[in-house]
C-alpha cells in the first residue's frame, strides 16, 4: 500500500495527473471498503492539487448524502437537480463551472468556493451511485484536462464499487 504520494510541484497539471493516477491505483489496490478508498482518493487529490474542497456525495434514498471529503464542513444533503452536484446527477454528465456565482441555483457551502467540477460516478449497471465534487478558491480552475483525468478516477471507483 502507498503511504506517501510522490509528486513534483513543478509538474504541469497534466503531468501531475499522469503521476498521481498510478499512485491512486496502488493506494486502493486490494482494498474493498469503498469508504476507505474514497477517503484516500479525496486526500490524494486535495494534497496534490491543493483544491479548496474534494469529496463525494453518495446517492441514498433519492438524494445525495455527504460522504468522505477533505476540506471545511459541507452541505449534508442535496436534492436531484439542485446546485452543481444535483444537476450533474440529474443530467448524468460532468459539469465544469468557471464561476460558481454565475451558476443558477448554486449551493454555497463555502463562500470561498469560486469554481467547481462535478463528475457522476456510475456502477457496473450504469447507475449513478455518487458524484465527485471538487471546489477551488480561484476562478476558472477546471478544464478538459481535469475532466479527462478525473473521469479515469471515476472509472477506477466503478471497478471496486
Tens of pLDDT, residue by residue over 126-156, are 999 999 999 999 999 999 999 999 999 999 9
Other beta carbons less than 10 A from residue 50's beta carbon: 10
Where do the structural domains in the chain lie, given as residue ranges? 13-160
Q: Which three cell numbers stand for residue 16?
A: 501531475
Whether 114 contacts 100, CB under 8 Å? yes
CA distance 52 to 112: 8
2, pLDDT greater than 90: no
CA distance 120 to 93: 6
CA distance 116 to 32: 29
Going across the sheet that includes 77-79, the strands are 77-79, 63-70, 53-60, 128-136, 115-122, 95-97
Q: 13-160 falls under which CATH superfamily?
A: GAF domain (3.30.450.40)
pLDDT band at 8 (very low <50, low <70, confident <90, very high): low
Amino acid at each position: 500500500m502507498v503511504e506517501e504520494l510522490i509528486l513534483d510541484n513543478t509538474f504541469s497539471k497534466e503531468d501531475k495527473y499522469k503521476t498521481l493516477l498510478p499512485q491512486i491505483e496502488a493506494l486502493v489496490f486490494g482494498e474493498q471498503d469503498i469508504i476507505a478508498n474514497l477517503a484516500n482518493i479525496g486526500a490524494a487529490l486535495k494534497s496534490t492539487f491543493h483544491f479548496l474542497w474534494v469529496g463525494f456525495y453518495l446517492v441514498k434514498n433519492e438524494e445525495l448524502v455527504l460522504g468522505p471529503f477533505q476540506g471545511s464542513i459541507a452541505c449534508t444533503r442535496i436534492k436531484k437537480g439542485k446546485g452543481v452536484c444535483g444537476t450533474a446527477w440529474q443530467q448524468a454528465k460532468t459539469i465544469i463551472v468557471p464561476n460558481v456565482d454565475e451558476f443558477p441555483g448554486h449551493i454555497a457551502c463555502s463562500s470561498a468556493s469560486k469554481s467547481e467540477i462535478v463528475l457522476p460516478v456510475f456502477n457496473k449497471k450504469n447507475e449513478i451511485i455518487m458524484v465527485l465534487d471538487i471546489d477551488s478558491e480561484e476562478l476558472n480552475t477546471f478544464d478538459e484536462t481535469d475532466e479527462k483525468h478525473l473521469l479515469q478516477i471515476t472509472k477506477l471507483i466503478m471497478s471496486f464499487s
